[in-house]
Amino acid sequence: MIRHTLRSLATLLFAALVGSIVVFVLVNMLGGDIVTVLLGKEAGPGDVQFMRDELGIDRPLVVQYLDWLRGVATGDLGTSYGMGYDIFDEIVRRLEPTLMITLGGLLVSIPLALLLGTYSATNAKKVRGGVIDVFSQVGVAIPAFWAGLLLVLVFAVRLGWLPTGGYVPLSEDPIETLRSIILPVMALSLGVTAVFTRYVRTAMIDVMNEDFMRAAMARGRTRRGAALFHGVRNASIPLVTVAALQFGQLIAGAVVVENVFVLPGIGRLIVTATLGREVVVVQSLALVIMLFILVLNFLVDIAYGFLDPRIRDKAESQ
Amino acid sequence: MLEIRDLRVHIDGHEIIHIDELDLPPGARLGLVGESGSGKTMTAKAIAGLLPAEAKVSGTVRFDGNDLLALNDAQFARIRGKRIGFVFQDPARSLNPMMRIGRQVSEAIRLHTDLKGRAITDKVVELLTQVQLPDPASLVRRYPHQLSGGQQQRVMIAAAIAADPELLIADEPTTALDVTVQAEILRLLISLSEERQMSVLFVSHDLGVIRYVCDRVAVIYGGHVAETGSVDDVIDRPRHRYTSALLAANPGMPKDDDFAAFMGQRLHTIPGSVPAVGRFPSGCRFRNRCGHASAACASIPSPVTGADGHRYSCWNPGGED
Amino acid sequence: MSVTDIDTVPDVDTAIPAAPKSLWRRLRRLPITLYLGGALVSIFVFVALLSFVWTPYPPNQLNMSNRLAPPGTPGFFLGTDRGGRDVMTELMLGARNSLYVSVVSTVVAMVVGSAIGLAVAGSNRYFQGPLTRLVDAGLALPGILTALVLAAKLGPGNTTATLAIIIWQIPVAARVTIGPARQVLALDFVEAAYGYGRRKPYILVRHVLQNISPLLIVLGSVMFAAAILIEAALAFLGVGVQPPTSSWGRFLNETQALLDAAPYLMFFPGLAIVFTALGFNLLGDGLRTVLDPQQSRSGLS
């Protein structure tokens, strides 16, 4: 177990290091000078030099990189050039809507996918199973932003049941908070549910073919009973490994969905900053989001070790 | 106890199994023997309703007067584990790797009896003791991968007999195990059967093992019963040419019950190999590999019944009554 | 999106070609997903190519007297947008842009990614574990992050989008290649090839690549679908292709303000995206079934 944890931790750190280098290289070595991007081509030489000093751009790249990392580690991510806000404070301020919709998305999509995928696997040869299959194929192909537009059209514009967008913080009015995230969560969950349903289905079909499923039936389980009591437990092992991929999907979806519903979250912040060419803001935000996903992956990896007794023992005996 | 009549299994339109008649008397141990691909395992699974949905099963299997094949999944589930136990070939794959031993042994108890809580644990420990596993109290909390193959198979047997079934179906229960462990498992099965008055349907490709364990035997070839009767009749006085060929491929088999002497001796070679599904010849299914085949063998042989239920289907039987 | 399907691409050693039968019987036995996906993909490619030689109206022709005409208006089959541009023309041009971005990004990502995958599979065991786990971590990161970073630095546009999709898809292609390549490397004939003196790079290219090529075809199809979806998402966010080039995603962005006035405008580009992505995914599914009968039968035996 300890060995497993250490290895996961090493992977986390290694991946974070490589990821940060990639982001840094993309920002600093591709397509010319940051200052030109920030100030535009018309800036006078005095302004340019001021900016260069401000950003410390004339220092060696390695020094700049390490300085940036130190900043991220201490919560000092820099300030927005265009809008003047402190990046770290802004992230904290905008965390709530993003967390609300991503958590909501997880809570909706994972149980739903488990249900649909298991149902489809146990009815694999029947029409009912096929319908779920078609749903998941189509669901994978529907972009989150289009799903969002459709939902707004139906439930906000036409029926008027829910707001077209915007966000009310929990501290002000929890009911309104819920109302404001229902449509975003639905739009976000569609794709993730569809993808995860396919995984669950594959994993369940594989498990259903295992000898121990037949052994469970031989002890008096019905097919469905064996699927529920033995199948789900065992299928969860391969599912946990792919769940990590879903976090990335979820975050990507959140970025898009926040922009459809004008939610003042991290996703909207990074897109606004991108359109405003706020290179420094985007660079830091990208790294923070990346670290967030990697940490989630790390936690999933640990959970995986706990889940499978074989891995648990292997790690102990080594 | 078990009366099989006209049992047929079709897969993809091919008739894989056709058992016209086969009985298992109460308390008896019946062996199903044949080469791999003969259909013996599939017959066993068909009886327990454990074939995949693609297999179409027809005919009747009377178990204590009730036709098992007329049951739906839920009704069958109430019989499996409670009245019919099943032990599989590969214990490593037949135990759920993510479930504690105790949980798997107690599954049939939870499903089929009224026992609760502490009583279940006591029963599980008692079962593990019966199958002669060491330190049953702590074993309950272990996982399958922490056990040896022989121990795993003992766990499987304990799980199969947990709800005191009247019939135990054992499908090649020792094939996946070390030779030294095999004999122990077989002895365990015999003693359990005798203590509990439990009938056993024992599937094996090994005539030596069958003779050691069973009192009756059915020789299966191409999904048909070639010959059936008491172990002594069939093995000592075989009539069907396939039985003789099987025996000839198993030379030097002693008559006494000294099991250790048979170990390591397997069915070796009968000329040719078992044909693929749908490629069996018409008439007698064995005739393309049989040294005694004649023109008559092109039509289906009708069964001949002798004393003590010794029955065979062969146009040119060997031996004498 | 379809990072998803990578774990179910065929195992190499199980990909056994079906026994030769008459052409008609073989065609009839092909899975329906292959036909459905093939049809959708063919329509998409045909429309995209057709847009080079013919569109109902010249690209970007404004027609202020016909602004926001509903679908079915004579002369404007799918209606017109805010500037009176013909929607059908816009969609055909959008298909062209989707095709362009996804072809370039998929081809480049496939070549680079599978090369990396082969190299990792062929590397010695000390590197293999960490490298594989690194690729896994890369897989978990959403492509949109790279795209935003690139767009901030280089400015939005098709090149940015294409580059971002490439960077995102490389780990996908690498990950799918590693496992099967390792399987092939463990096969007997590879050992034999070492035996008579072949060097590793030769074996990787000559034997391994050839053996996993069916899998790469399936992968390509699935990556195409993902590329189409992410191109649309980037264009929708405004960090992808810029005016005057037409794009489905950008078109949807412009219709967002018109949900009240002209809701029908958002249907057709959305359907175009869904059907195209669905087509490529189905095609990938069908190809997988054909190239790997073993896997697709799982659940039956």
Confidence bin at B147 (pLDDT 50/70/90)? very high
Helix (H, G, I), strand (E, B) or coil at A159: coil
Q: Which residue of A has its CA nearest to B145?
A: A310
A-chain residue closest to C263, CA distance: A153
Identify whether the C-beta of residue A249 lies closer than 8 Å to the C-beta of residue A293.
no
Chain B hits for C300, CB-CB cut-off 8 Å, are 52, 54
Q: Within a domain: residue B120?
A: no
Q: Is residue C60 part of a domain?
A: no
Confidence band, pLDDT 50/70/90 cuts, at residue C10: very low
| 3-state SS assignment for residue B129 | helix
Interaxial angle between packed helices C143-154 and A2-29, expressed in degrees from 0 to 180 and rounded to the nearest 10: 20
Q: Residue A249 and residue C238: Cβ atoms within 8 Å?
A: no
The closest of C99, C54, C89 to C69, measured between CA atoms, is C89
CATH code at position B266: 3.40.50.300
Chain C residue closest to A13 (CA)?
A: C134
Take residue C118 and report the two structure tokens written for it. Answer: 């082969």
Longest dimension (CA), chain A: 84
Structural domains of chain A in order of their starting residue, each with its CATH number: 90-275 (1.10.3720.10)
C59: in domain: no
Neighbours of chain C (3+ CB pairs under 8 A): A, B
Residue B139 has pLDDT above 80, yes or no: yes
Nearest one of C103, C74, C76 to C89, comparing CA atoms: C76
Helix (H) or strand (E) holding B312: strand B311-312
Q: For residue B262, name the pLDDT band (cuts at 50, 70, 90).
A: low
Q: Is C19 on the interface with B (CB under 8 A)?
A: no
Q: Identity (one letter) of the amino acid at C284?
A: G
**Partners of chain A (3+ Cβ pairs below 8 A):** B, C
pLDDT at C243 over 90: no
Q: Is the predicted pLDDT of residue C129 greater than 60, yes or no? A: yes
In Å, how far are A22, A27, A206 from A34, measured between CA atoms? Answer: 16, 8, 52
The answer to whether B54 contacts chain C (CB < 8 Å) is yes
Name the helix (H) or strand (E) containing B101: helix B101-105
Q: How many Cβ contacts (< 8 angstroms) between chains A and C?
A: 189
For residue C299, the distance in angstroms to the closest alpha carbon of chain B comes to 10
List the single residue in C2, C140, C149 with the smallest CB-CB distance to A140.
C2
DSSP letters along A198-218, please? HHHHHHHHHHHTSHHHHHHHH
Where is pLDDT greater, at C79 or C156? C156
Average pLDDT over all residues of chain C: 79
Burial group, residue C209, by CB count within 10 angstroms (0-12, 13-18, 19+)? middle
Question: Which pLDDT tens digit goes with each residue over B60-79?
Answer: 999 988 899 998 888 889 99
pLDDT higher than 50, residue B222 = yes
- Confidence band (pLDDT; 50, 70, 90) for B215? very high
Identify which of B48, A175, B141, A146 has the alpha carbon closest to the alpha carbon of residue C266: A146
Show the tokens assigned to B98: 């993510």
Which tokens in the block code for residue C76? 């404007």
Structure tokens at A236: 């969860």
C:7-26 residues touching chain A, CB 8 A cutoff:
7-8
Higher local confidence (pLDDT), A86 or C56: A86
Cis peptide before B97 (omega within 30 of 0): no
**Tell me, what's the pLDDT at B171?**
92
In a domain, B141, yes or no: no
**CA gap C8, C285 in Å, rounded:** 10
Task: Give residue B321's pLDDT.
Answer: 57
Statement: residue C264 has pLDDT above 70: yes
CA C299 to chain centre: 28
Those residues of chain B whose CB sits closer than 8 Å to some CB in chain A are 48, 50, 53, 73-74, 77-82, 85-86, 88, 90, 93-99, 107-108, 111-112, 143, 145-146, 156, 159-160, 162-163
Any idea what the CATH number is for the domain that residue C108 is in?
A: 1.10.3720.10
The more confident residue out of C29 and A231 is A231
CB count in 10 Å sphere of residue C27 = 11
* Residues from chain A contacting residue B167 (CB–CB below 8 Å): none
Inter-residue contact A69 to A23 (CB < 8 Å): no
What span, in angstroms and rounded, lies between the C-alpha atoms of C44 and C59? Answer: 18
Question: If you count them, how many residues does chain B have?
Answer: 321
Tally of domains within chain C: 1
What length is written for chain C?
A: 301
Structure tokens at A159: 């029926």
Chain C neighbors of B54, CB-CB under 8 A: 300-301
Exposed (0-12), middle (13-18) or buried (19+): which is C297, by Cβ within 10 Å? exposed
Confidence bin at C256 (pLDDT 50/70/90): confident
**Contact criterion met (CB < 8 Å) for A220 and B146:** no
Alpha-carbon distance of A188 to B244, in angstroms, equals 70
pLDDT of residue C268: 87
Q: What is the dihedral of CA C205, C208, C210, C211, to 10 degrees?
A: 180
Tell me if C155 and A273 make a contact (CB, 8 A cut-off): no
DSSP type of residue B301 = P
Most confident of A121-130, C104-113, C248-257: C104-113
Average pLDDT over residues B253-258: 49
* Close Cβ partners of B243 (under 8 Å, ≥ 6 residues apart): B219, B226, B227, B234, B312
d(CA B270, CA C100): 65
Residue C59 distance to chain A (closest CA, Å): 24
Measured between alpha carbons, how far is C187 from C191 in angstroms, rounded to an integer?
Answer: 7
DSSP 8-state secondary structure symbol assigned to residue A263: -
Name the 3-class secondary structure at C268: helix
For residue C79, the distance in angstroms to the closest alpha carbon of chain A comes to: 19
Q: How confident is the model at residue C1 (pLDDT cuts 50, 70, 90)?
A: very low
pLDDT tens for chain A, residues 1 to 318: 677 788 888 888 888 888 888 888 888 776 666 777 777 767 777 777 777 777 777 778 888 888 888 888 888 877 887 778 888 888 888 999 999 999 999 899 888 998 898 888 888 777 787 788 888 889 889 999 999 999 998 998 888 888 888 888 888 888 888 898 999 999 999 988 998 898 888 888 888 888 999 999 999 998 888 888 888 888 888 888 777 778 888 888 999 999 999 999 999 999 999 888 888 888 888 888 888 888 888 888 888 777 777 777 765 443
CB of A256 within 8 A of CB of C237?
yes
Distance of CA C282 to the CA centre of its chain: 11
pLDDT of residue C21: 55
- How far is residue C196's CA from residue C191's CA, in Å, rounded to a whole number? 9
pLDDT at C205: 78
Q: Give pLDDT, residue C278.
A: 92
Q: For residue B181, what pLDDT is reported?
A: 86
The domain of C108 spans 30-53+86-299
Residues from chain B contacting residue A309 (CB–CB below 8 Å): 97-98, 143, 145
Is pLDDT at B30 greater than 90 in this prediction?
yes
Q: Which residues of A touch C301 (CB under 8 A)?
A: 209
% of chain B at pLDDT higher than 90: 39
Among A211, A214, A220, select the one facing B77 at the smallest CB separation: A220
Chain A hits for C5, Cβ within 8 Å: 198
Q: Is the pLDDT of residue C301 over 70?
A: no
Alpha carbon separation from C233 to A146, B154, B189 (Å, rounded): 9, 58, 65
Residues of A in contact with C275 (CB under 8 A): 141
Give the neighbours of chain B: at least 3 Cβ pairs within 8 Å: A, C
* Distance separating alpha carbons of residues A134 and C152, to the nearest angstrom: 38
Task: Give the burial class of A63: count Cβ atoms within 10 A of its Cβ; 0-12 exposed, 13-18 middle, 19 or more buried.
Answer: exposed
When pLDDT is cut at 50, 70 and 90, the band that residue C104 belongs to is very high
**Residue A225: its chain B contacts at CB < 8 A?**
77
Nearest residue to C300 via CA among B14, B23, A208, B147: A208
DSSP code, position A79: B
- B166 vs A43 pLDDT, higher one: B166
Q: Closest Cα to residue C174, out of C124, C206, C143, C136? A: C136
**pLDDT the model gives residue C13:** 36
Report pLDDT for C297: 39
H helices of chain A, in order, are 2-29, 34-39, 45-55, 61-74, 87-122, 127-141, 144-151, 174-208, 211-218, 223-226, 232-260, 266-275, 279-307, 309-317
Chain segment B265-291, per-residue pLDDT in tens: 544 567 777 888 778 888 888 888 888
* Residue C2 C-alpha, separation from nearest chain A C-alpha, in angstroms: 7
Q: Give the predicted TM-score (pTM) of the model.
A: 0.78
pLDDT at C300: 28
Determine contact, residues C236/C250, Cβ cutoff 8 Å: yes
Chain C residues closer than 8 Å to A34 by CB: 153
For residue B268, what are the domain limits?
2-83+163-312
